[in-house]
Amino acid sequence: MSYTSPKYTYVSQQPAFDKLQRDVVGAAQTVAAKRAKAEAEKKKELEAEKLKGELLTSKGGEASAKHVRDTLGASPDDFTDYGRGVVENYFKGKGKLVGDLTMKTSGPNAQCKTDGNCEELQLELAKLQEQPAKIKGMLETLLDQLDWKSIQNFDSSQNPELIAVSNVMSGIGEFAKEPYGYEMVDGKDGKSIDIIFRGPEDVFPGGTKTINSKQLEAATGPGGAPLFQTTQSPGVNQGNVMQNTEILQGATFDEKGNYVEGGTFIAENYIKFNVDEYGNKIPSAENYIETTDKKGGSVTRAVIDESMVREDIKLGVAQTLQENFGIGSDQGIDDGQIRTYFNKVLMGKSWAKNLAKQYDEDQLREVFGTKKDDGTFIPATGTVEELKTRWGKVFNNWSTKEDLTDDQLKVFEELFLKQQTQSITQAMQYHPSNVVQIDITNLPTGTIEETVANLPG
């Protein structure tokens, strides 16, 4: 009879480890699935907001703030029928109150002197007397700010609710009918005015959208920003970069900053020559192309190297990003301009989203790296695939309801630099200065090794 003490009996823990591993992997897969689902839902939500804005702008048709602005005056009598009803409702009963207050505060024997409330009643009367001018100013500001129809290349995803507000105030089509409408009431502070807009829940969450006169003034006044951002012109940005770098000496620009013509540069400075072991530049056939000039004649041009242009314009691009987008400025970024330029210009470029696939590891680490206050640069960590994933994640519509992330700003800067590099390289490639006197028929071809091997002697 054999006996084995339980104390020394070996029991394998492998099944428990296997289960633990399955649980961990399962949990990781669950977390990953939840994260992927959340990202998909966020992307869907941002896309829905973009489509909502596009739908509201299309429904606006010919609706324009001009509809009300042209007939806007200091009194309700000067408003259109649509706008007059809103103003009349606000002033209803106030005329009698003004009369009563005037009587109580006028004359040497004014009633307020007996009651001891002259200061209070005079202040109330002054507020009522100021209301027509205040309302006129508020509506003029609001209508001017909401005139999205006048914005070229308008980004309809900026703020769908404000697009709807504009359409309601314009009073055209379905926006002049129930359930749409608006009214003016005194603000909760007793000093400002609220305009309350009504509409369906899918247009105004909660069914209403309130704009306060004081908040409007603070938002759009000195130091503020327009309610809708214009989309900057790529041509103006290119002109700014060219002027900042003076890459074309003596070039001319129009009053907006667009490059017009002229200027000179030395084409050979932008050729990526093969170099032998002694540092000598060795031209090859790949450095030149045969094209035609404006008169149809044959000319030889240098192949302008994009990477050399990129290095030459980096400082000018940084200066333009600071001047036009606030990137790197003490005042902070111009959030609206960055969003609209990405949504309407950069995101639509066929090369932009897939650019990360063309970049090597060092380039990707540079894009997502961090520059410290002391000027040192720290390359980004993570695998190449992780960096490419980070790049791809920013390619959603950039909503005003989401704060811009560091990754969005980094990709924006890279795309802007790439766009300027491409456009300026193209301008230089076919510039009159890029005509060289060289016979390319006898030049060697190929890599530096092939070129050196084919040199005479």
Q: Worst-scoring range by mean pLDDT, 111-115, 198-202, 368-372, 378-382?
A: 111-115
pLDDT at 439 over 80: no
Return the HEC string of the chain: CCCCCHHHCCCCCHHHHHHHHHHHHHHHHHHHHHHHHHHHHHHHHHHHHHHHHHHHHHHHCCCCCHHHHCCCCCCHHHCCHHHHHHHHHHHCCHHHHHHHHHHHHCCCCCHHHHHCCHHHHHHHHHHHHHHHHHHHHHHHHHHHHCCHHHCCCCCCCCCHHHHHHHHHHHCCHHHHCCCCEEEEEECCCCCCEEEEEECCCCCCHHHEEEEEHHHHHHHHCCCCCCCCCCCCCHHHHHHHHHHHHCCCEEEEECCCCCEEEEEECCHHHHCCCEECCCCCEECCHHHEEEEECCCCCEEEEECCCHHHHHHHHHHHHHHHHHHHHCCCCCCCCCHHHHHHHHHHHHCCCCCCCCHHHHCCHHHHHHHCCEECCCCCEECCCCCHHHHHHHHHHCCCCCCCCCCCCHHHHHHHHHHHHHHHHHHHHHHHHCCCCCCCCCCCCCCCCCCHHHHHHCCCC
In the prediction, which pLDDT does 60 show? 53
pLDDT tens string 102-151: 777 776 777 877 888 887 777 676 666 666 777 777 777 887 888 887 77
Tens digits of residue pLDDT in 382-419: 999 999 999 999 998 887 777 899 999 999 999 999 99
Arithmetic mean of pLDDT over the chain: 77
Distance from C-alpha of 356 to C-alpha of 409, rounded to nearest angstrom: 15
Q: How far is CA 289 from CA 70, 299, 441, in A?
A: 58, 8, 11
pLDDT tens-digit readout, 47-84: 555 655 566 665 554 434 343 434 333 344 444 444 55
pLDDT digits (tens, 9 = 90+) for 6-22: 333 333 444 554 445 45
Residue 127: the pLDDT is 67
Cβ–Cβ < 8 Å for 191, 211: no
Question: Is the pLDDT reported for residue 165 higher than 80?
Answer: yes
Instruction: Quickly state the pLDDT bin for 32 (edges 50, 70, 90).
Output: very low
For the chain, which residues make up each domain, given as ranges?
66-220, 234-353+395-429
Per-residue pLDDT, averaged over 350-374, amounts to: 91
- The residue ranking higher by pLDDT, 95 or 384, is 384
- For residue 34, the model assigns a pLDDT of 45
Of the pLDDT bands very low, low, confident and very high (cuts 50, 70, 90), residue 428 is very high
pTM over 0.85: no
Reported as a pLDDT band with limits 50, 70 and 90, residue 178 is confident
Q: Residue 99 has what pLDDT?
A: 67
pLDDT attached to residue 77:
45
Q: Which of 71-75, 250-254, 308-312, 446-450 has the highest mean pLDDT?
A: 308-312
Q: Quick one: average pLDDT of 217-246? A: 86
Q: What is the mean pLDDT of residues 29-57?
A: 54
pLDDT for res 171 = 73
- Weakest-pLDDT range from 119-133, 142-156, 246-260, 429-443: 119-133
Structure tokens at 188: 């909760």
At residue 126, the pLDDT reads 65
* Rounded Cα–Cα distance for residues 407 and 410 (Å): 5
- How much is the pLDDT for 230? 83
339 vs 342: CA distance, rounded Å: 5
How confident is the model at residue 391, as a pLDDT?
94
